[in-house]
A and B are shown apart, each in its own frame.
Chain A
Amino acid sequence: MGTTTKAALRGTAVTARVGVALGVAVTVCFVTGLISHFIQHPQPWFFWPTRPVWLYQLTQGLHVIAGIAAIPLLVVKLWSVYPKLFERPIIGGLTRQLERASILVLVGAMIFQLSTGIMNIAQWYAFKFFFTTSHYAMAYVAAGAVLVHIGVKLPVIRRALGEPLEEQPTGELRVGPSRRAVLAGTWLAVGAATVVTAGQTIPWLRHLSVLAPRSGHGPQGVPVNRSAFAAGVLASARSPEYRLTVANGSAVKAFTVDELAAMPQATHRLPIACVEGWSATADWTGVVLADLLKAAGAEPNSDVRMISLEPPGPYSRTVLPARHTRDSQTLIALKVNGQTLDLDHGYPCRLIAPTRPGVLQTKWLSRIEVVT
């Protein structure tokens, strides 16, 4: 019998395989993140359809799920290459320094993205910089560093993926875990990370998602992201003086809540899907936006600006693209799940449109302007 030895668990065979999975997760995050960014900052070339109605729920759900899945992948990948940190020469020549610097940027940007992302979905702003802009900027740094890294390591990656996972020492008996076990454990950790969090957007996982920032509960069965209190609309939303004004150039028409309720009502089952990765589907009832615009003498062919009772801030006014404006499922909702909107859901009325991020489903509407 040969001598016993513990197998080397680390190795490019493990690094490359976990790296491929991490690359897939980062790609999903980057692409879905860009989609979310361009919906919120529309560009002329960017096309965002209104069907299927759950499209944003899917892309943003994937963004957060892939980001969380990347956490165990990054942990294992960094573990698998950790000894390289101490490889000699520590400093070395210019090429060596450049390589080390690129790895520093890569690891720093990845840790930055994953840590700020996971904190943002729990609304924990311990960092003193604005989340969205820095997460967006660092996404390019991270994606760029990943591409450089893949470019530099491509021959190593290809060789490692072509070779068997386990080293095959002859005449020696392996004891302890195998690399197969490390990989199996990694996939298990990815699965566990997903299960304990993804219930905030996948309802049947809800009971297992013990670490999800949202249980999915809330007033009228729908969670809230910005409360009426935080928006400062407690008084204005309940005021008897409340009117929803629809403006088309100089033509202006005001509607009371009763007048809105007296108009033909439509009910559609639409998801509210937050940039923070949670979502909830509900039955929304209200006036079809296109009908409301027609009632105010405007044709629903252009973009419209949605203005909230909320004092001016980043999301108190949003622009709804023409494609969504004329969509038959875009509602100025007065009810959710059969009940008058809770104050926290945007009473007296709110926008709810298919495939839109929750943050752009403007609540406590006070004015709708046709953008000409």
Chain B
Amino acid sequence: MTSTRIFLVALGLVLGAYGVTLVAENSTDVIIRIVVWALIGVLLHDAVFAPVCVALGFAGRRLLPHRWWTPVLVAALLTVVLVLLAIPVYDKPGLHLDNLTVLDRDYADGFWIALAVVWGSALLYLVGDRVLPVGENQVVEQQRTDDVEPQPPSVGPDGQQSAGGGEPHLER
């Protein structure tokens, strides 16, 4: 494995260095713009987007019932992705009037419909989760390696049932 790792790191350094020489072929102004763009991207993620997600996750865990967490988490992720994909098209910032074959959809409608589908599905999941009987898979999923089939009650010397036993843990 060590030789694989050395190879990967060495190849990575060579590729990266080549990339740096290509970037360096630009004028200083352009190099600065490229680096600043990348750094602003990191900053937007680390200092804005991620803390907002942490705060929303923190609030969500306190405000929402446990059963809601999974569908809300997944729907939130899909929302983030839809928003990111909508940014370059929603307001058509790249529109040129001489070519109406680019950005030729109603992105606002499309975005809100997609969002409605996502959150509608989350709602359906919640309702379905409540209405449908607990599936065997779910029981198995919630079991741990120390879950075992119920054993015949062991009778101690004092005639009392010992503690333990392996009823599947389910909080419903």
Contact = CB atoms under 8 A, between A and B. Distances in A.
A184 B74 contact: yes
Interface hub of B12, B94, B107, B145 (most chain A Cβ within 10 A): B12
Contact of A123 (B70, B94, B118): B94
Contacts of B53: 79
Contacts, number: 246
B104 A217 contact: yes
A138 interface: yes
Contact of A118 (B1, B78, B85): B85
Nearest to A170: B146
Given A112-B38, A214-B104, A227-B99, A175 B66 contact: yes
A358 to B, nearest CB: 12
A371 B23 CA distance: 32
Interface string A161-191: 0000000101001111110111011101100
A297 to B, nearest CB: 38
A146 B89 contact: no
Contacts of B142: 174
A250 interface: no
A280 to B, nearest CB: 10
A124 interface: yes
Contacts of B12: 143-151
Contact of A223 (B4, B17, B94, B101): B101
Interface residues on B, range: 35 or more
A218 to B, nearest CB: 4
Give the residue among A151, A178, A211 with the most B Cβ atoms within 10 A. Answer: A211
A122 B169 contact: no
Contacts of B37: 112, 115-116, 127, 129
A134 B25 CA distance: 10
A63 B118 CA distance: 26
The 9 closest A-B pairs by CB, nearest first: A210-B110, A144-B16, A140-B19, A147-B12, A151-B8, A111-B41, A137-B22, A144-B15, A124-B94
Given A119-B94, A185-B78, 13 more contacts: A71-B84, A78-B45, A115-B41, A122-B93, A144-B16, A148-B8, A148-B9, A154-B4, A158-B1, A168-B144, A196-B110, A211-B82, A211-B114
26 contacts: A71-B85, A72-B77, A72-B80, A79-B50, A82-B50, A112-B38, A119-B88, A123-B103, A128-B30, A133-B22, A137-B23, A138-B23, A139-B19, A140-B15, A141-B20, A141-B23, A143-B12, A144-B13, A144-B14, A144-B18, A147-B11, A147-B15, A196-B82, A210-B109, A211-B110, A217-B101
